[in-house]
Chains A and B, each alone.
Chain A
């Protein structure tokens, strides 16, 4: 995840244990410093695997015979529940000429089904008092999210609607065409008329030549224009299946009741067991790549990206820590070197937790009149420092504490917990990997930072996109 630099916290933090009002304390021992379980021990409770998450929170996971995964986490601090459905499909599953199909299809999921005419999905949820009803598509996933006031009726309502559109969606030509135009407008908004969107798209297009991460999640205008409703129906038929889905419920709910209802609403849907297909492998980058864009901006922007492994790499915890060292907090290295020194107004960095090998990106907005060569050289100098000398322990601990703080912040709301569980279950096939990642971050040493910096921050794996003001 990319973090902005505005948060500032922690050095020499003392025990920071997440407490909660959850009444179901785990049986395993929690680490007093991190609040994380000491081991990834799993116990059984009927159909559920019981897995400690953080503090007193325990997640229960079950799998239906059709492959649907269910994760339930009880959090009764609010009389509400978050409901998220994660599908293991994103722009990564698209092919050349059909870019943007996964995202366009996400829009179509709000159209009618065999049982509900167009508009009913939204109307029924709004009447029930839904909050934050939305959806999003990434390179790797498509996610549908809601929060509802706690009640048995509302659990039935959301499961009835979500399971219905998993199998009964209708895509007609007229609604397809209208929604395609909505998506074109979204594309104009996010890319064409947004300098940052244009730079983001260019960065990935330049860094990746073969893998689907090359194209934007929202797709290309020309591909969207020639797409048909049949393409959408084929996509639905191929990828929307219980064996590619994870339902996450977090809130004031009873796990056994939820499982009973999930079996009732989703149990009859047949698995399709569609494989991912042959996703092209990105060849090794052999030389630095650069692009300069002339944009409708008033100050220069510099984005630099290095190739990094996929999220399941053992090096991922180290990249998380490097992000903290470089740009998290006012005392981070690039904040000091770029902002305090009067070169930039903003700097951020991070990787994207992608399934396949991705990018570690550093992005900075410069002050008026400051040149891109200067900013690039300052960033390069700080990366060289990581390679050439060991990070001090106190600096490392500051970064670790910040990461822990962000993790707790993410886990402080029902939707945040659901997002964490869904993301890691979807990326790794097991949300425990997300908890392990937090634990491993705390175990990173100065030597590991230096080793990863040396191996990955190499010139031939670098892509630079520079944005400069256009002259009219």
Chain B
């Protein structure tokens, strides 16, 4: 497969019918192409709201909500969903949680009644909690075998240490082990409130068919949520920081090089997205792809992108060379970052990136599902309506000078962190040498350590 790490996303909004009944928000788009209805129910507040020592409680809470209500056991919920021809999944992200379902149009009413029950009156049984904790912990342990996701997880934990963005969405094993029903209930009481709820639906139905569900939640969950505002992250590395997440027997490393990013609402974001596209974010002609893969064959994938949130998260570069190529590849990537800061991108790169982003914009809003996701992102992160719809116009209006000014002020090679999943005994000395730093400056941490 011809891999590329496509990390920037562009969306545009099509027309959605929106309303705000009481505190919750409901958005609906009719689509008769399938006899199905897709429903997303989101609540602001995700893993970043996990209390200290209880990382994982939000994810456990959402999963436990599917495992029993005051009226139904887990088995009864599973059976009810099967009988309705419905699917329902939950997901925890840093700043929101979602319940995503799809159902045959004709069964929308009972599906929404069930969903209303799941959200309004979960039972949080201790037996189910204990079973779920074991599953969750085993799932986290199993995920450690995937080096690419492992490096991302450990990078965030290390870079944002002490900040809510350091928390893993699925939690920490030590914290999960000690969670109680009371912890889960408290988190539910903090986060699940109608004034934090956004409901998005699309399919062969009408907006009025979804409104009773919204009203049910508004009646039962109508006290104010207690979502703590996130602080800005200020503890950026004082100098280039290198951390090896030491894992035995690696013949290949996974590298993430990152720095503090910008928030979703930054006025520089469009210019930086264009710059990122030219540097490593989505194009096979991007600098990283050309220098690390095409010219040197050092890596299969090479890319860069922004991780975005309500506060500045990260801008990061990633690639995965064999052990021997890791030191020169890291050194070359750092040189490229310095070069980017010093000279920006060229007129030709600017023109190509702009054309590509504008011409591919139609793929970002060509289905109701994509338009629904766009609206969700706008609402969660406080973006203006039409943020995605206007993306291509904003890109079209950019000038090379705007982009290079944004690059010069944003890119910060002296305060980056390099995270590497590698076998330290094999790679550490050569990485230090390639970066011209003392070996003792490289931190080494067991890959299993949370």
Q: State the Cβ distance, A296 to closest chain B Cβ, in Å.
A: 6
B residues less than 8 Å from A401 (CB atoms): 85
Interface string of A189-221 (1 = CB under 8 A from B): 100111110000000000000000000000000
Q: Does B310 contact A (CB under 8 A)?
A: no
A residues in contact with B247, CB < 8 Å: 296
> B135 to A345, Cβ gap below 8 A?
yes
B141 touches A149 (CB 8 A): no
A161 close to B (CB within 8 Å): no
Looking across the interface, which residue of chain B has its beta carbon closest to that of A175? B294
- Scan B278-293; emit 1 where CB is below 8 A from any A CB, else 0: 0000011100001001
Listed stretches B115-123, B144-152, B255-263; interface member? B144-152
Q: Which residue from chain B places its CB closest to the CB of A21 in the assembled complex?
A: B33
Q: Which residues of A contact B141 (CB under 8 A)?
A: 298-299, 368
Q: From known contacts A134-B1, A185-B298, A298-B142, infer whether A11 and B83 are also in contact, taking CB-CB under 8 Å.
A: yes
- Among the 9-residue stretches A124-132, A280-288, A314-322, the one with 4 or more Cβ atoms under 8 Å from chain B is A124-132
B209 at the binding interface (Cβ < 8 Å) = no
Identify the closest chain B residue to A15 (Cβ): B35
Q: Mark A116-148, 1 if CB is under 8 A from B, else 0.
A: 001100110011111101111100000000010
**Cβ proximity bits A32-68 to B, threshold 8 Å, 1 near / 0 not:** 0000000000000000000000000000000000000
Grouping DSSP codes into helix (H, G, I), strand (E, B) and loop, the B interface class, with mixed when no group exceeds half, is mixed
B359 within 8 A of A: yes
Decide: A345 near B138, CB < 8 A? Known: A179-B297, A193-B252, A472-B248. yes
Given A8-B78, A184-B322, A189-B252, answer yes or no on A131-B360 (Cβ-Cβ < 8 Å). yes
Q: Is A18 on the interface with B (CB-CB < 8 A)? A: yes
Q: Check B135–A149 contact: CB distance below 8 A.
A: no
Given contacts A129-B359, A299-B141, contact A107 B88 (CB under 8 A): no
B199 interface residue per 8 A CB criterion: no
Would you call A299 and B138 a contact (CB within 8 A)?
A: yes
Cross-interface CB contact of B1 among A10, A135, A296, cutoff 8 Å: A135
Q: Which of A14, A80, A330, A345 contacts B139 (CB 8 A)?
A: A345
A192 touches B252 (CB 8 A): yes
Q: Is the CB of A78 within 8 A of B134?
A: no
Whether A9 lies near B85 (C-beta < 8 A) is yes
Shortest beta-carbon distance, B439 to chain A, in Å? 22
Q: Give Cα A16–Cα B102 distance, bound, in whole angstroms.
A: 14
Is the pair A178, B295 in contact by a Cβ cutoff of 8 Å? yes
Instruction: Take A331-B82, A401-B85 as given contacts and tell me if A149 and B251 are in contact as well, using a CB distance cutoff of 8 Å.
Output: no
CA distance A189 to B146 in the complex (A): 10
Binding site for B on A (CB under 8 A): 6-14, 16-21, 77-80, 106-107, 110, 118-119, 122-123, 126-131, 133-137, 147, 149, 177-186, 188-189, 192-196, 295-299, 329-331, 339, 342, 345-346, 365-368, 398, 401, 405, 408, 412-413, 470, 472
- A78's partner among B301, B321, B356, B367 (CB-CB below 8 A) is B367
Complex CA gap A9/B283 in Å reads 38
A398 touches B82 (CB 8 A): yes
B359 near A149 (CB under 8 angstroms)?
yes
When C-beta atoms are compared, the residue in chain B nearest to A184 turns out to be: B322
Cβ contact of A13, chosen from B1, B104, B296, cutoff 8 A: B104
- Chain B contacts for A127, CB-based, 8 A: 352, 355-356, 359
Q: Kindly identify which residue among B297, B352, B366 contacts A126, using a CB–CB cutoff of 8 Å.
A: B352
Among candidates B88, B295, B363, residue contacting A8 with C-beta atoms closer than 8 Å? B88
* Contact call A185/B297, Cβ cutoff below 8 A: yes
Cα-based distance from A14 to B35 in the complex (angstroms): 11
Also in contact, A189 and B320, with CB within 8 A (given A16-B35, A126-B283): yes
Q: Does B2 contact A (CB under 8 A)?
A: yes
CA distance A18 to B297 in the complex (A): 46
CB distance from B51 to the nearest CB of A (A): 25
Whole-angstrom CA separation of A8 from B355 in the bound complex? 41
Q: Are A119 and B294 in contact (CB under 8 A)?
A: yes
List CB contacts (< 8 Å) of B11-44 with chain A. Answer: 32-35
- Whether B361 pairs with A129 at a CB distance below 8 angstroms is yes
Q: A19-B32, A122-B284 are in contact. Are A11 and B251 (CB under 8 A)?
A: no
User: Can you name 5 A-B pairs with beta carbons within 8 Å?
Assistant: A7-B87, A8-B78, A9-B102, A185-B321, A298-B448
Q: Is the CB of A182 within 8 A of B297?
A: yes
Across the interface, which residues of A come within 8 angstroms of B135, CB to CB? 339, 342, 345, 367
Q: How far is the CA of A472 from the CA of B448 in the complex (A)?
A: 13
A118 vs B285: C-alpha distance in the bound complex, in angstroms?
11
Contacts of A181 in B (CB 8 A): 296-298
Q: Are B138 and A123 in contact (CB-based, < 8 A)? A: no
Instruction: Determine whether B250 belongs to the interface, using a CB cutoff of 8 Å to chain A.
Output: yes
Apart from A126-B283, A129-B356, A129-B359, what 17 extra A-B contacts exist at CB < 8 Å? A8-B82, A79-B366, A110-B284, A128-B359, A129-B358, A129-B361, A149-B360, A149-B363, A177-B297, A182-B300, A185-B321, A189-B320, A298-B145, A299-B138, A331-B79, A342-B131, A345-B135
- Judge whether B360 and A297 touch: CB under 8 Å: no
Asked if B60 is at the interface of the complex by the 8 Å CB criterion, the answer is no
Closest to A17 in B: B35
Contact call B252/A126, Cβ cutoff below 8 A: no
**Which residues of B lie under 8 Å from residue A408 when comparing CB positions?**
34
Closest chain A residue to B354, Cβ basis: A127
**Cβ-closest 7 pairs across A and B:** A129-B359, A181-B297, A298-B141, A129-B360, A122-B284, A188-B252, A178-B297
Contacts of A180 in B (CB 8 A): 297
Say how far B84's CB is from chain A's closest CB, in angstroms: 8
